[in-house]
């Protein structure tokens, strides 16, 4: 509480981000269990670039120790381009905006820490009340980013409409969250296990801009640079991304934006092969009932694709996340310059 109280002091820096500080201030007034890392707090108070990072990919998306190494390299990529990383997670029922190294290790070491939960919006209240550890999905990470006033969030793949959702109704809470949080989410598209066409339709209905970031307007499919679908918008540089976020802020729009960054070229060939494993894993999940097991579906599919490809999916997964971290950092830097 002491740390965040600093934000409330009326300095020129805190006046500049009064609106951001106010929702955090309101939470703190309620004694909400939230700790903003001093480095992140300092950056936010001075309008410096910050990039949020999620933790479900660490706790439920990748095996140990690759998950921990990736979490560290992603943070270091954000720093390389001049921004401050804020990895978000839940430790014993306290929301952490920026994890200490030992906290990151604690969440990542899924051999020891077996009860860490996957946190979507619906899980936040219960997990805090029961003092659990948790990895935040895109939805929960968007919520805490918006609360703290962080404008950019980098990850691997956004959740979306699952295949067969017309019967299972499995649609990730990530999509709705993008209507409530004015944050730019940078990802390599949506997970390839999804129904990409329906996910894009749903985002259109929700009013969330989908923007390809790169040389074509192809909407990327995580492991591959192409999904067969097009994005309605395309940009090629961080300043354009920052301008989109800025325009939405000027008009008080509550929604964020999805910036879809294709996986680096070098991984395109293996991407085709991975996609075949994805198709097989999805069929298996329909046959064995995993596709009807709610939040367990995604982690099961990712693990199965890893098995089927002898770990090749992991290398691609790491490469694409490291890449979105760089782009997210650049967008955050551009935004901080616009907002000055």
Contacts with ligand PSU by CB under 6 A lie at 54, 56-57, 60-61, 120, 137-138, 156-157, 159, 172-174, 191, 295, 298, 302, 317
Whichever of 118 and 151 has its CB closer to Mn ion, that residue is: 118
The answer to whether 129 and 36 have CB atoms below 8 angstroms apart is no
Taking the mean position of all CA atoms in its chain, how far away is CA 153? 6
Q: How far is the CB of 1 from ligand PSU (least distance, A)?
A: 28
The answer to whether 115 and 66 have CB atoms below 8 angstroms apart is no
Whichever of 59 and 323 has its CB closer to Mn ion, that residue is: 59
Whichever of 191 and 304 has its CB closer to ligand PSU, that residue is: 191
Indicate which residue of 54, 75, 103, 177 is catalytic: 54
Judge residue 330's burial from the number of C-beta atoms within 10 Å of its C-beta, 0-12 exposed, 13-18 middle, 19 or more buried: buried
Q: How far is the CB of 161 from ligand PSU (least distance, A)?
A: 10
Token digits of residue 230: 């097009």
DSSP letters for 208-265: --EEEESSS-BPPBTTBS--S-B-SEEE-SHHHHHHHHHHHHHTT----EEEE-PPPG
| Residue closest to ligand PSU, measured at CB | 61
Q: Does 133 bind Mn ion (CB under 5 A)?
A: no
Torsions phi, psi for 62 (to 5 deg)? -145, 150
Q: From the list Mn ion, ligand PSU, none, pick the one residue 137 interacts with, judged by a Cβ distance below 5 to 8 Å according to partner type.
A: ligand PSU
Polymer length in residues for the chain: 340
Q: From the list Mn ion, ligand PSU, none, pick the one residue 224 interacts with, judged by a Cβ distance below 5 to 8 Å according to partner type.
A: none
What is the spatial distance between Cα 242 and Cα 233, in angstroms, rounded to a whole number?
Answer: 14
Q: How far is the CB of 291 from Mn ion (least distance, A)?
A: 10
Q: From the list Mn ion, ligand PSU, none, pick the one residue 154 interacts with, judged by a Cβ distance below 5 to 8 Å according to partner type.
A: none
Indicate which residue of 96, 118, 151, 191 is catalytic: 191
- Residue 54 annotated to the active site: yes
Query: Quick one: which of 170, 177, 195, 218 contacts Mn ion (CB under 5 A)?
Result: 170
| Long-range contacts at 299-304 (CB < 8 A, ≥ 24 apart) | 299/60, 299/61, 299/118, 301/193, 302/61, 302/62, 302/191, 302/193, 303/63
Whichever of 7 and 158 has its CB closer to ligand PSU, that residue is: 158
Q: Of 251, 249, 340, which Cα lies nearest the Cα of 47? A: 340
Q: How far is the CB of 48 from ligand PSU (least distance, A)?
A: 26
Q: How far is the CB of 294 from Mn ion (least distance, A)?
A: 6
CA torsion through residues 244, 249, 251, 255, sign: positive
| Residue closest to Mn ion, measured at CB | 170
Q: From the list ligand PSU, Mn ion, none, pick the one residue 156 interacts with, judged by a Cβ distance below 5 to 8 Å according to partner type.
A: ligand PSU
Torsions phi, psi for 12 (to 5 deg)? -60, -40
Whichever of 122 and 131 has its CB closer to Mn ion, that residue is: 122
The residues that are catalytic are 54, 191
């Amino acid at each position: 509480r002491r740390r965040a109280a600093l934000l409330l002091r009326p300095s020129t820096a805190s006046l500049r981000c009064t609106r951001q500080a106010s929702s955090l201030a309101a939470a703190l007034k309620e004694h909400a269990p939230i700790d903003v890392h001093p480095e992140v707090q300092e950056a936010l108070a001075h309008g410096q670039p910050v990039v949020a990072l999620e933790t479900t990919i660490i706790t439920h998306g990748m095996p140990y120790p690759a998950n921990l190494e990736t979490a560290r390299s992603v943070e270091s990529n954000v720093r390389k381009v001049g921004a401050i990383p804020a990895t978000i997670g839940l430790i014993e029922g306290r929301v952490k905006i920026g994890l200490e190294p030992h906290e990151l290790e604690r969440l990542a070491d899924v051999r020891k820490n077996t009860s860490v939960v996957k946190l979507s919006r619906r899980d936040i209240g219960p997990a805090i009340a029961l003092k659990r550890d948790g990895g935040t999905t895109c939805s929960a990470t968007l919520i805490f980013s918006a609360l703290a006033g962080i404008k950019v969030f980098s990850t691997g793949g956004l959740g979306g409409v699952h295949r067969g959702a017309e019967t299972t109704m499995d649609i990730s809470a990530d999509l709705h969250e993008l209507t409530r949080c004015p944050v730019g989410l940078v990802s390599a598209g949506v997970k390839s296990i999804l129904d990409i066409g329906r996910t894009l339709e749903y985002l259109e209905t929700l009013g969330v801009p989908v923007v390809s970031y790169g040389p074509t307007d192809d909407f990327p499919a995580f492991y591959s640079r192409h999904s067969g679908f097009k994005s309605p918008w395309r940009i090629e540089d961080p300043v354009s991304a920052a301008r989109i976020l800025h325009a939405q802020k000027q008009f008080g729009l509550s929604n964020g934006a999805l910036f879809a960054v294709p996986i680096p070229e070098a991984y395109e060939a293996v991407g085709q092969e991975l996609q075949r494993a994805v198709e097989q894993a999805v069929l298996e999940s329909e046959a064995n009932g995993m596709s009807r097991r709610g939040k367990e579906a995604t982690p099961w599919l990712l693990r199965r694709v890893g098995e089927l490809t002898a770990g090749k999916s992991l290398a691609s997964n790491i490469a694409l996340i490291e890449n979105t971290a760089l782009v997210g950092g650049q967008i955050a830097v551009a935004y901080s310059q616009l907002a000055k």
